[in-house]
Amino acid sequence: MNYSLSFIFYISILSLFIFFLYIFLSRKINENILIKTLFNKNKLREHEKEINRYLEVLNNLNDGIAVIDRDKNVIFVNPAFNKNIRSAAIPANVKRFDFLIRSFELNSLVDSIIASNDIHFIEKKIKYFDRAEEKIVNCTIFKIGTSDEYAVIVKDATYLQKIENARTTFIQNISHEIKTPITAIMGFAETLKNGAIENRETSIKFINIIEHHTKKLNYLVDDLITLTNTETGKSPVKYEKINIKSSVENSLILFEKEIKEKLIDINNNILDISFTSDSSKFNQIVTNLIQNAVKYTEKGGIVKLEGYIIDAKTAHSFISEPEDASILWNNLPLKEGCEKFLFFSVEDTGIGVNYTNLLRLGERFFRVDSSHTAGHKGTGLGLAIVKHTLILLKGSAVVKSNLGNGFIFSFILPEIEEPS
């Protein structure tokens, strides 16, 4: 009997031990599972943060990036890709790469990469038209590691190409402008050296020609320096009170000889007003405009000058409502709070400009077709200087002309308070 009780007791103790051991181990296992789950969740959060960080970077790059599979299904595309490849908004439901780009050349490049077992990387500059405007992009296409996915990177190079084209054109133009006077100077100097200097009349004639071409080179260099300083902001604006009438009369004196020789009638309707702006830059604009008017006005023609103060409402109408066949330069917002503007206009009865050429006025070295400007010489930088100087002074201009019907150049400048 005692033996049976002892056995039952031990069995009970053992059962309790096993029960508590089970409870203990269960808790431990659950704790480990919980810890592991929490650890995995933390790792997942870290991975999500890392992925989101990369996505943030990719979505804010200026370079367009698209990831596609072998069947050219779009896996990922950042906003810049759409922007760089075409201007029209691309619907969000476009999942095929060829529908996304609508560029035969780029599509063919991608096909060649996918089809090739050897070439896994290609770079090429492609051109295409987007809304009638030529665009240029640098494309990079490659296979991503050992996967069946491909990356397509497009970098918009349109602006850089325009700069490169402008640089090339500038070098060609400046070379042409410099070569002509240098050739003349060298030729006449050589002629003088070879004996022409012995004849006083001939030598004086040749020296005068050399002097003329030297001055032409000097004018060109001066205009280039002025234009460069204006474009790069190295010509600071200094505001002061200007007497508009006196300033214009001083500019007219510079062309008095040519005005008399061509019997040009100057219709000076400039009011006797004071206006605050940059005196030297204002003179630069006026001088260039009067020079062009006198240069292109035929004998016995008329040059009409107007200058007066207008209010903000009239200035706004000037910018927003230009006449037909007119070109607006520098469509700048009117200076906030400014109620006083200078209106200035130079009108001539000269040969005029057709609309196609009117669109190009203000470009460096641009001259109207030589058949309409025979005998008229200059650096081709005058109106480019005017255009960029107006930008500095926060001004806008309207240019109007028809071939054979004269030329009108009007601009407005905001009144600037003198610094205290």
Residue 378 predicted with pLDDT over 60: no
Higher pLDDT, 369 or 103: 103
| Average pLDDT, rounded, for the chain | 79
Least confident piece of the model among 150-154, 173-177, 211-215: 173-177
Q: Which residues contact 23 (CB under 8 A, 6 or more apart)?
A: none
Least confident piece of the model among 28-37, 50-59, 97-106, 301-310: 28-37
Domain 236-414 in CATH 3.30.565.10? The answer is yes
Domain boundaries along the sequence of the chain: 63-156, 162-230, 236-414
What mean pLDDT comes out for the span 26-48?
Answer: 66
This prediction's pTM: 0.58
| 230-279 confidence digits (pLDDT tens) | 666 677 778 889 999 999 999 999 899 999 999 999 999 999 999 988 88
Q: Which residues contact 75 (CB under 8 A, 6 or more apart)?
A: 67, 68, 69, 149
Q: Looking at the domain 162-230, which fold is it?
A: Helix Hairpins (1.10.287)
Q: What is the pLDDT of residue 372?
A: 37
Residue 345 predicted with pLDDT over 90: yes
CATH number, domain 63-156: 3.30.450.20
Residue 418 predicted with pLDDT over 50: yes
Q: What is the pLDDT of residue 206?
A: 83
| 120-153 confidence digits (pLDDT tens) | 778 888 777 766 677 788 888 888 888 888 888 8
Do domains 162-230 and 236-414 share one topology? The answer is no
| 380-417 confidence digits (pLDDT tens) | 677 888 888 888 888 889 898 877 788 999 999 998 76
